[in-house]
Amino acid sequence: MHLLAQDLVNGILAGGILAVVALGFSLVWGIMNIINLAHGAFVMLGAYTTYQLFTSFHVDPFVSLPISFVLLFVLGYLIQRLLMNWIARAPLLTTFLFTFGLSLLVVNIALIVWSGDTRGVTTAYSGANFTLGDVTVPWAKLYTLLAALAITGTMQLWLVRSKTGRAIRATSMDIGAAQLSGVRVTEIYAIVFGLGAGLAGVAGTLISLSYSLHPTMGDLFLIKAFVVCVLGGLGSVQGALIGGLVYGIVEAFATQLDFTIGTQHISGSGLQDAIALIVLLIVLIVRPRGIMGKATA
């Protein structure tokens, strides 16, 4: 029984990070109709930014959160402004391919800069945890979850309250009408893509506290971001949060599966991807707009 509670807690803790990973991806997808395959690479850059700041200047990962955000925001903004706005109206596949190429580019630059060795960020509080009944909770992961909640909350407020946030939502609803009412779509696109990258950077920083770092680490998070978006529905902050938590919990339980059919031993930890993706397929088919999704596309 205590295992069940532990799995649930682990799932929630992991889900918080996934929510932040998916948030930026979801905004870019929902608002610009672009699947950003470089999102995972941006997450990786955020993680390595934190790593570099921590090892070179002893900057605490939580302090480097805003730094990751700003650096990645600027990168994303410039990529959209200078390059991707040229193909903004191209068919789906064009932007897909572009971001794939971009991802290869970024990952391989990272391989040259940081090499293919696995790295980690080990802070003073890295190993510390506390127990609640039978359930163990690592402090770092709890802080991470709180930071994730704070970030998603801030994003939601900003989108609803700020002028830019409103312009972004207007653009996502009706680009033509937004343009007519004076919204500069190229600028909004650049801000949204920057925001997506910035949030990926923040997610990378949070990830660096609990996972080991490698230039190709982004791929796994990219796929998870997909699943979370599909679970939660596109372009909404609440969707990303709920999708992230649901996915985190499903994954935590799925990895505990362990049984044998005939001579074939099946273990959930080995089939992590497959189980998650089968869940994804089922959700896609039953509720193509996601658990939280609106009826319209």
Partner 1 sequence: MKRIGLGGITGNPGAFAIVLGLMVLLLAVPLTHNGYVETVFRNILMYAAMAYGWNLIGGYTGYVSFGNVAFFGLGAYCSGVLAAHGVSNLFAYVALAMVVCAVFAVIVGFPVLRLKGHYFGIATLGVALAVADIIANLDVLGGSSGLAMHQLDEAHFSTYYYAMWLVALGSMLGTYFIARSKLGYAFVAIRENEDAAAVLGIAATRYKIIAWAISGMMAGSAGAIFAPANGFIDPSITFAVDSNVFPIVMTILGGSGTVAGPFIGSLLLAGANELLQRFFVKAHTLFFGAMIVLIVLLLPRGLVWLFGLRGGVRAWIKSVQVYRA
E strands, 71-161, are: 129-132, 135-138
As a whole number of angstroms, the distance between CA 60 and CA 66 comes to 12
Is 98 near partner 1 (CB under 8 A)? Answer: yes
CB closer to partner 1 out of 34 and 213? 34
Least distance from partner 1 to the Cβ atom of residue 265, Å:
8
Asked if 189 interacts with partner 1 (CB under 8 A), we say yes
Q: In the chain, what is the straight-line distance between the N-terminal and C-terminal CA atoms, in Å?
A: 41
| CA distance linking residue 175 with residue 48, whole number of Å | 36
Q: What is the length of the chain?
A: 297
In the complex, least distance from residue 97 CB atom to partner 1, rounded to whole angstroms: 5
Q: Which of 234, 237, 238, 244 is nearest to 294 (CA)?
A: 234
- Contact between 42 and partner 1 by CB under 8 A: the answer reads no
Residue from 3, 4, 74, 92 binding partner 1 (CB under 8 A): 92
Stretch that binds partner 1, among 43-51, 91-99, 132-140, 201-209 (CB under 8 A): 91-99
Q: Which of 2, 173, 288, 294 binds partner 1 (CB under 8 A)?
A: 288
Say whether residue 284 binds partner 1 (CB under 8 A): yes
Residues 201-230 that bind partner 1 (CB under 8 A): 219, 223, 226, 230
Rounded distance between C-alpha atoms, residue 33 and residue 186, angstroms:
14
Which positions touch partner 1 (CB under 8 A)? 29, 33, 35, 83, 85-90, 92-94, 96-98, 100-109, 111-112, 185-186, 189, 219, 223, 226, 230, 263-267, 270-274, 277-278, 280-281, 284-285, 288
